[in-house]
Amino acid sequence: MANQFGTRIRQLREDGRLLQKQVADQLHIDPPMLSKIESGDRKAKKEQVNLFAQALQADGEELLTLWLADHLLDVVAGEQLGLKAITLAGAQIRDHLKDNLTLANGI
């Protein structure tokens, strides 16, 4: 199970000299749940990513990127065509974002 998100959460918490209980209280979860998220035994919910960013005074975009990367890796890990699938998905996401930008600009 990928755990870039949990590792970064632990690093930010420790750098901020915060106890698990302090961060868990801000997220309205119990400290054992936070411990499981940090260790990768449990995944944070997407809705919690921004709460983590606020509690740890961290970059929400960085944390969401790590959270998404973990989820993608969990899906394709061990798949022979995993990298090919991610590359294809990346191209489709890029096209979708480009189309949305074009619509937003009225072009």
Looking up residue 59, the CATH number of its domain turns out to be 1.10.260.40
Same domain, 52 and 70: yes
Same domain, 8 and 51: yes
Same domain, 67 and 91: no
Query: What is the maximum span of the chain, computed from C-alpha positions, in angstroms?
Result: 51
Same domain, 63 and 38: yes
Same domain, 70 and 41: yes
- Of 77, 46, 56, nearest to 8 by C-alpha is 56
Same domain, 51 and 38: yes
Question: How many domains is the chain partitioned into structurally?
Answer: 2
Same domain, 25 and 60: yes
Question: For residue 21, what are the domain limits?
Answer: 4-76
Same domain, 33 and 54: yes
This prediction's pTM: 0.82
Same domain, 59 and 14: yes
pLDDT string in tens for the chain (107-residue length)? 779 999 999 999 999 999 999 999 999 999 999 999 999 999 999 999 999 999 999 999 999 999 999 999 999 988 899 999 999 999 998 988 887 767 666 65
Same domain, 69 and 22: yes
